[in-house]
Amino acid sequence: MRFASFILIAALSLSAAPTAIEKNLHVRVRMRDGVHLCANVFRPAGNGRYATILVRTPYNKGKDITPGWQALVEHGFAVVVQDVRGRFDSEGVFDLYYQETPDGDDTLNWVAAQPWSSGKIGMYGGSYLGIAQWRAALSGNPHLKAILPLVSGDDEYLDRFYSKGGEMKLGHRLLWMSEHFSAPGSPKPDFNRYIWRLPLRMADRAATGQRSAMWQRALDHPSYDHFWKSVSVRSNIEKIKVPVFAVGGWYDNYVESDLEAFTLLRKLGRPNRLIVGPWAHNMSYKFPDMDFGSQAQIPLRELQLAWFDYWLRGSQAAPSTPPLRYFVMGANQWREADEWPPKGVRYVPFYLSSGGHANSVSGNGTLRENEPGVNPADRFVYDPMKPVPTVGGAVCCNPKKFLWGPLDQRQVERRRDVLVYTSSPLKHPLEIAGPVRVVLYAATSAADTDFTAKLVDVWPDGRAINLTDGILKLRYRESLAKPVPAKPGEIYRITIDAGPTAVLFKKGHAIRLEVSSSNFPRFARNLNTGNPAAEDTVVRTARQTVYHDRRHPSHLLLPVVK
């Protein structure tokens, strides 16, 4: 979760002449409970009072100024970089769920009381550093005038632990914990070892060498219950009064929440901007299978400085562009809009069809615009011991261990437990922008299981590039709050949230949908028993059936731009 923050901060480097900088390192800041957090303070030398940029990080504030912080100071800001509670030089015990709002509030008050502070503070940073901003903003602190969270999301359940379909984001969470919260002196275990660990209750020990309170708490609450709502920014977003400028990426784990926070704040009438580009969790990362060109770059440095100049220093250069700017992949162009999805989108169904053998890309599965007639169902066996591997996508947080972004899916599509439905080559370009949904009429032999969906752009040369994907744990087909057991053999109409995207399918390209029951380790394996997932070690295979006939019109629902 730290990659984006460092890359984006570095992007602020300026070419201005050096400025004399006052440094105060390892300053102790007292919190309301007596715990002291440690911060570095950088400001222009002299006796002035400066608008301040506050950065709160669990990844080590460092021992001196960085080029990014120096650029901000040279622009006339004071900068405070603080280790959050329980991390590096700060006292206390780290608590993911509860510490950032009160600690952020106390730190803002401390900054505003300093003789070098103008009392106007902005917050900045990516990933966890963005989470810390959202939580500080929940406090309603009057000194916080604007925030700029990057690739951070707004909900603990839906962003950092579980999907919108209720399945654990296994690889994401365990990898982050292993890299940043391992027991002191313990060797870093192999990623491919701890993701397979059962029961999940013990996976924290395998990943970090010790028990993790945040992991255990998440397993204690597999449904979206009162606990998650109480620690959710989204559930309390009416408390966010400060202007928000957020940045997200189509291949980032948090983009769906970035978009939803934008929509909610727009409805509340809050000053709010969002940019979504063709990026993963690190904006500068180069995808091996896809290049969106130089046009994918944005003048983020100028936009960020203008944002803080306006809200913290009263600059007359008010942001004038529409509140949403998003990149359309394929067209490789930027679009501007006032809302998400953009006006004019219509939801067009593409119906699943086959001769009963959609298994693998060599099968006979198709996508059609006409409703199906008489069609035999498709069947496959899901074995949790041989799950469909994750190949790219909106995963996090280290691409050296867990590949992210747009990658060729043909190795996945050769599997018999992946149903593949492909349209005819398009005669005209088709642009989509919005959430992708998949409606399936499906049955299983198990007491509980998962169904997955992945949207793919098929190029004329055969490349199958993933765009977005999702999963649904069958027990959550009605609600994330109240699981309902499944009845083996019964046909259910289920909806899989396959995430948001913006892409132009070019003429000659084809639209493809992959349907299966696993996408591992992006998501945990459903062991098909119906037992509580945290303690389960029994593994059963499941016989899955997907229906697509006149009575059961399974379909892909695309947000087509008029």
Q: Which residues are catalytic?
A: 127, 252, 281
First to last CA, the chain: 36
**Cis check: omega of the bond before 38, within 30 degrees of 0:** no
What stretch of H or E contains 210? none
Structural tokens at position 558: 């695309």
Is 168 within 8 Å of 523 (Cβ atoms)?
yes
Is 278 within 8 Å of 249 (Cβ atoms)?
yes
Using alpha carbons only, how large is the chain's radius of gyration in Å? Answer: 24
Structural tokens at position 273: 């901007």
**Cis check: omega of the bond before 376, within 30 degrees of 0:** no
Structural tokens at position 527: 């062991």
Instruction: Give the Cα separation of 446 and 156 in Å (integer).
Output: 29
Instruction: Give the Cα separation of 447 and 255 in Å (integer).
Output: 32
Structural tokens at position 318: 């008010």
Structural tokens at position 337: 């809009």
What stretch of H or E contains 186? none
DSSP state of 445: S
Instruction: Give the Cα separation of 113 and 219 in Å (integer).
Output: 41
Q: Taking the alpha carbons of 103, 109, 112, 114 in that order, is the dihedral positive or negative? A: negative
Distance set, CA 469 to CA 116, 451, 466 (Å): 49, 11, 8
DSSP state of 264: H
In sequence order, the β-bridge partners of residue 441 are 493, 547
Is 504 within 8 Å of 431 (Cβ atoms)?
yes
Instruction: Give the Cα separation of 264 and 244 in Å (integer).
Output: 12
Is 259 within 8 Å of 276 (Cβ atoms)?
yes
